[in-house]
Amino acid sequence: MAHDHVDVLIVGAGLSGVGAACHLRRTCPDKTYAVLEARGAIGGTWDLFRYPGVRSDSDMFTLGYSFKPWTDPKAIADGDSIRDYVRRTAQEYGVTGHIRLHHRVLGAEWDSATARWTVRARRDDTGEDVTLTCGFLFVCAGYYRYDAGYTPDLPGVDAYEGRLVHPQHWPADLDHTGKRVVVIGSGATAVTLVPALAGRAAHVTMLQRSPTYVIALSSRDGLADALRRRLPARVAYPLVRWKNVLLGVANFQLSRRAPRLVRRFLLRAAAGRLPAGYDVQRHFSPRYDPWDQRLCVVPDGDLFTAVGQGRADVVTDRIDTFTPTGLRLASGAELPADVVVTATGLNLLALGGMTVTVDGAEVGLAQTVAYKGMMLSGVPNLAMTIGYTNASWTLKADLVATYVCRLLRHLDATGQQVVTPLAPASGERAPLIDLKSGYVRRGVDALPKQGVSAPWRLYQNYPRDVLLMRHGRLTDAGVRFSRAGAPPAPDRPNPARPADAAVG
Ligand SMILES: Cc1cc2nc3c(=O)[nH]c(=O)nc-3n(C[C@H](O)[C@H](O)[C@H](O)COP(=O)(O)OP(=O)(O)OC[C@H]3O[C@@H](n4cnc5c(N)ncnc54)[C@H](O)[C@@H]3O)c2cc1C
Helices (H), 280-418: 280-284, 302-308, 393-414
Number of Cβ within 10 Å of residue 52's Cβ equals 18
Q: What gap in Å lies between CA 191 and CA 193, rounded to an integer? A: 6
Strands 129-139 and 382-384: parallel
Nearest atom in ligand 1 to the alpha carbon of residue 391 is 11
CA of 44 to the centre of ligand 1 (A): 5
Residue with CA nearest ligand 1 atom 48: 44
For residue 54, which of 71, 85, 76 has the smallest C-alpha distance? 76
pLDDT at 490: 61
The DSSP secondary-structure symbol of 35 reads E
First vs last Cα of the chain: how many Å apart?
37
Q: What gap in Å lies between CA 61 and CA 63, rounded to an integer? A: 6
250: which residues sit within 8 A by CB, 6+ positions away?
none
CA of 143 to the centre of ligand 1 (A): 7
Best residue among 60, 62, 393 to mutate for probing ligand 1's pocket (most ligand atoms within 8 Å of CB) is 393
Best residue among 9, 10, 16, 45 to mutate for probing ligand 1's pocket (most ligand atoms within 8 Å of CB) is 45
User: CA dist 236 to 68, 80, 84, 95, 239, Å?
Assistant: 12, 24, 21, 26, 5
Are residues 20 and 397 in contact, defined by beta-carbon separation less than 8 angstroms?
A: yes
For residue 39, which of 122, 129, 118, 143 has the smallest C-alpha distance? 122
CA of 138 to the centre of ligand 1 (A): 15
The DSSP secondary-structure symbol of 114 reads T
pLDDT at 471: 95
Are residues 183 and 194 in contact, defined by beta-carbon separation less than 8 angstroms?
A: yes
Residues having CB within 6 Å of any atom of ligand 1? 11-17, 36-39, 44-45, 49, 56-58, 63, 104-105, 140-142, 146, 188-189, 352-354, 385, 387, 392-393
Please list the pLDDT of the chain residue by residue as tens digits (504 residues).
446 999 999 999 999 999 999 999 999 999 999 999 999 999 999 999 999 999 999 999 999 999 999 999 999 999 999 999 999 999 999 999 999 999 999 999 999 999 999 999 999 999 999 999 999 999 999 999 999 999 999 999 999 999 999 999 999 999 999 999 999 999 999 999 999 999 999 999 999 999 999 999 999 999 999 999 999 999 999 999 999 999 999 999 999 999 999 999 999 999 999 999 999 999 999 999 999 888 999 999 999 999 999 999 999 999 999 999 999 999 999 999 999 999 999 999 999 999 999 999 999 999 999 999 999 999 999 999 999 989 999 999 999 999 999 999 999 999 999 999 999 988 889 888 877 777 788 888 888 999 999 999 998 999 999 999 999 999 998 999 999 987 665 665 544 333 333 322
Helix (H) or strand (E) holding 88: helix 79-92
Are residues 335 and 329 in contact, defined by beta-carbon separation less than 8 angstroms?
A: yes
Number of Cβ within 10 Å of residue 208's Cβ equals 22
CA of 381 to the centre of ligand 1 (A): 22
130: which residues sit within 8 A by CB, 6+ positions away?
1, 103, 120, 121, 122, 123
Are residues 216 and 76 in contact, defined by beta-carbon separation less than 8 angstroms?
A: no
Number of Cβ within 10 Å of residue 202's Cβ equals 14
The string of pLDDT tens digits covering residues 435-467 is 777 778 888 888 899 999 999 999 899 999 999
The string of pLDDT tens digits covering residues 20-45 is 999 999 999 999 999 999 999 999 99
Residue with CA nearest ligand 1 atom 33: 12
User: CA dist 313 to 116, 202, 205, 267, 321, Å?
Assistant: 56, 12, 5, 17, 20
Q: What gap in Å lies between CA 318 and CA 388, rounded to an integer? A: 31
CA of 393 to the centre of ligand 1 (A): 9
The string of pLDDT tens digits covering residues 238-265 is 999 999 999 999 999 999 999 999 999 9
User: 233-257 and 222-230 helices cross at what angle (nearest 10)?
Assistant: 160
Q: What gap in Å lies between CA 280 and CA 418, rounded to an integer? A: 56
Strands 430-431 and 449-450: antiparallel
Are residues 173 and 331 in contact, defined by beta-carbon separation less than 8 angstroms?
A: no
CA of 48 to the centre of ligand 1 (A): 9
pLDDT at 503: 27
Are residues 88 and 58 in contact, defined by beta-carbon separation less than 8 angstroms?
A: no
